[in-house]
Amino acid sequence: MKVYIDGKYYEKEEACISVFDHGLLYGDGVFEGIRIYNDKVFKLGEHLVRLYQSAKAILLNIPMTIEQMQKKVEEVVRVNKKRDGYIRLVVTRGRGDLGLDPDKCAKASVIIIVADIALYPSEYYTKGIAIITSSSRRLPVDGLDPRIKSLNYLNNIMAKIEAKQAGCLEAVMLNKEGYVAECTGDNIFIIKAGELYTPTTYQGALDGITRATVLDLAATLAVPCHTRTLSRYDLYNADECFLTGSGAEVIPVTAIDGRKMGDGKPGSVTRKLLAAFRQFIVAD
Same domain for 278 and 140?
yes
Q: What is the mean pLDDT of residues 260-269?
A: 96
At residue 106, does pLDDT exceed 80? yes
Q: What is the mean pLDDT of residues 217-224?
A: 97
Q: Which of 51, 82, 115 is the last residue of a domain?
A: 115
pLDDT at 142: 87
List 71, 72, 104, 149, catalytic entry: 149
At residue 120, does pLDDT exceed 90? no
**CA 34 – CA 104 distance, rounded (Å):** 30
Q: Which of 59, 87, 115 is the last residue of a domain?
A: 115
* Confidence class for position 234, pLDDT limits 50, 70, 90: very high
Asked if residue 248 lies in contact with residue 119, where contact means CB atoms within 8 angstroms, the answer is: yes
Same domain for 218 and 138?
yes
Asked if residue 30 lies in contact with residue 55, where contact means CB atoms within 8 angstroms, the answer is: yes
**CA 172 – CA 174 distance, rounded (Å):** 7
Q: What is the mean pLDDT of residues 166-172?
A: 96
pLDDT at 52: 98
At residue 112, does pLDDT exceed 80? yes
Asked if residue 174 lies in contact with residue 135, where contact means CB atoms within 8 angstroms, the answer is: no
pLDDT at 282: 82
What pLDDT digit, counting tens, does each position of 11-56 carry? 999 999 999 999 999 999 999 999 999 999 999 999 999 999 999 9
At residue 211, does pLDDT exceed 90? yes
* Confidence class for position 141, pLDDT limits 50, 70, 90: confident
Query: CATH number for the domain including 211?
Result: 3.20.10.10
Q: What is the mean pLDDT of residues 233-243?
A: 98
**Residue 126 half-sphere exposure toward CB, CA atoms < 13 A:** 2
Same domain for 135 and 54?
no
Instruction: Write out the residue range of the structural domain in which residue 71 sits.
Output: 2-115
Q: What amino acid is encoded at 103 in this protein? A: D
pLDDT at 117: 85
pLDDT at 273: 97
At residue 119, does pLDDT exceed 80? no
pLDDT at 193: 97
What pLDDT digit, counting tens, does each position of 127-138 carry? 999 999 999 999
* Confidence class for position 121, pLDDT limits 50, 70, 90: confident
Q: What is the mean pLDDT of residues 71-77?
A: 98
Give the chain's domain count: 2
Same domain for 190 and 88?
no
Same domain for 89 and 59?
yes
Same domain for 44 and 176?
no
Same domain for 149 and 270?
yes
Percent of the chain exceeding pLDDT 70 equals 100
149 noted as active-site residue: yes
CB-count exposure of residue 212 (10 Å: 0-12, 13-18, 19+):
middle
At residue 69, does pLDDT exceed 80? yes
Q: What is the mean pLDDT of residues 157-164?
A: 98
Outline where the chain has alpha helix (H).
22-26, 44-57, 66-80, 124-127, 154-165, 209-220, 232-236, 268-283
Q: What angle do CA 95, 99, 101 make, to 5 degrees?
A: 75
Query: CATH number for the domain including 58?
Result: 3.30.470.10
Q: What is the mean pLDDT of residues 251-267?
A: 96
